[in-house]
Amino acid sequence: MSQAEGAQGAPSPPGAPGAREITLEVVRRVLRGAFLAPTLRRGLDASRLDGRDRSLVTDLAYGTLRWLPWLEAALQPRLDPRRRLPERVAVALRLGAFELLVRRTPPHAVVSAWVDVTKRRHGALAGLVNAVLRRLEAPMPTTPETRVALPAWLLARFGEALGVEDAERAARAMLEPGPLWLRAYAEDAAAMLRAEGCEVQDGPLPATLRVRAPLPLDRLRAYREGRVQPQNPSSTLPAALLAPAAGERCLDLAAGNGVKTAQLAAAGAVVTAVDIDARKARAMDVNLARLGLGAGHVSADLTAEAPLPPAPCVLLDAPCSGSGTLRGHPEIKLRLRPGDVAAAADRQSAMLDTAVALTAAGGRLVYAVCSLTEAEGEGQIAALLARRPDLRAESLTPDVPHVATPNGCYVLPLAGLDGFYLARLQRPA
């Protein structure tokens, strides 16, 4: 979910033609390989759109990419497969299909808007866009993977991990927008947000907030002064499960920009963040300073032996396929291939061995991935326990929708949550 989605909520159609042209360029670039969130942010920053039309761009871009396989199934009977359309016309049809079939925008407004956009570059094809969109219907019949707009192989992987019913629930839930989720770092965070005109509700987990804001996050005083951190509630669970005591030494492995490092530091732990990319440490330091927190950091390749002393608390939120975050990163499902999951699992296995070596005797290790595949989740921990029978996995029952497994659990991506796999392991003294 983008910050802009949470900031403004669902827009009211039809919006200005300029908004649709910007959306078309954003989606076109993403389909060429760009990442959605930064591409959208650059497009909006370069525009002169007001809040209503900025929200329209965000909703159309995210929504179209989330629903793309379903939209293409709807368009396929209306298009001649022998005719290769110009790139922008093909994207315009998909955006128009999303507005018509998913957002249920009045047809005359949608058709007129996308015909006008098409005329600006491809006037000769404006009639085709008009004809296709006027006759468009939802795809029938549909396969399970079409219904949830997910590649068949990936839906099958979800089924292996979650069971068929929960796999479809998870995939369908990630088609819908989510709120702006914030984690509070001060008792007055919610009050400060409300004073700035935000709508604030308590989230499903401690210190989490569901927010609708009238301004971009970085313009809110509560953010600038370190009262809040953007963080999905599911993402708060790994550090919460580690539960370090005040003064306890922790290693945050594969720390990235240090969002979980901050959470551990706020709990009073003495934290060392470890990541292969030294550049991320600079972003982490800036964010920690904003929050009034501090932590050490070390650059190391965690697929090999790391030159660090073992610690009683170790968190490994490992790099993964990201298949539990398709709501906020829908481009993932358009690019992910089975071999990518296998490669991620191989890397995670090596990192887990390093993490165990860095866990002191009697210490605890939390493993997390924002993925909903067996290979990256329960299968990963089962394989580790086969290699290291001295480790003990604890049962987990977090206060969010989840599927329990023998060695951990999958958090389901319902009601705006991200999907995660979590495991907590104890090393004998």
256-308 per-position pLDDT tens digit: 999 999 999 999 999 999 999 888 888 999 999 999 999 999 999 999 988 89
Preceding peptide of 177 cis, ω within 30°: no
Interior/surface letters 340-357, b for 16+ CB within 10 angstroms, e for the rest: ebeebbebbbebbbbbbe
> Tokens at residue 358, please?
């860095």
Q: 103 lies in which domain range?
A: 3-142
Average pLDDT, the chain: 94
In a domain, 160, yes or no: no
Strands (DSSP E) found in 335-419: 359-369, 392-393, 402-405, 408-411
In a domain, 209, yes or no: no
138 and 237 both lie in a single domain: no
pLDDT at 13 (0 to 100): 44
237 and 136 both lie in a single domain: no
261 and 135 both lie in a single domain: no
Interior/surface letters 72-84, b for 16+ CB within 10 angstroms, e for the rest: bbbbeebeeeeee
Smallest Cα–Cα separation from 265: which of 345, 192, 183?
A: 183
Neighbours of 113 (CB within 10 A): 24
Say if residues 394 and 425 touch (Cβ distance below 8 Å): yes
Pick the residue with more confidence: 321 or 216? 321
In a domain, 176, yes or no: no
How many CA atoms lie less than 13 Å away from 223 in the CB half-sphere? 18
Q: What is the number of structural domains in the chain? A: 2
237 and 133 both lie in a single domain: no
Which of 124, 142, 160 represents a domain boundary (last residue)? 142
DSSP H helices in 36-163? 36-45, 51-75, 87-101, 107-122, 126-134, 144-147, 152-162
Say if residues 418 and 234 touch (Cβ distance below 8 Å): yes
Greatest Cα-to-Cα distance within the chain, rounded to the nearest angstrom: 75
Predicted model pTM: 0.93
> Could you confirm whether 198 is annotated as catalytic?
no
Which of 313, 320, 370, 409 is an active site residue? 370
Q: What is the pLDDT of residues 232-246, one digit of tens each?
A: 999 999 999 999 999
Task: Provide the 3-class DSSP secondary structure of residue 208.
Answer: strand
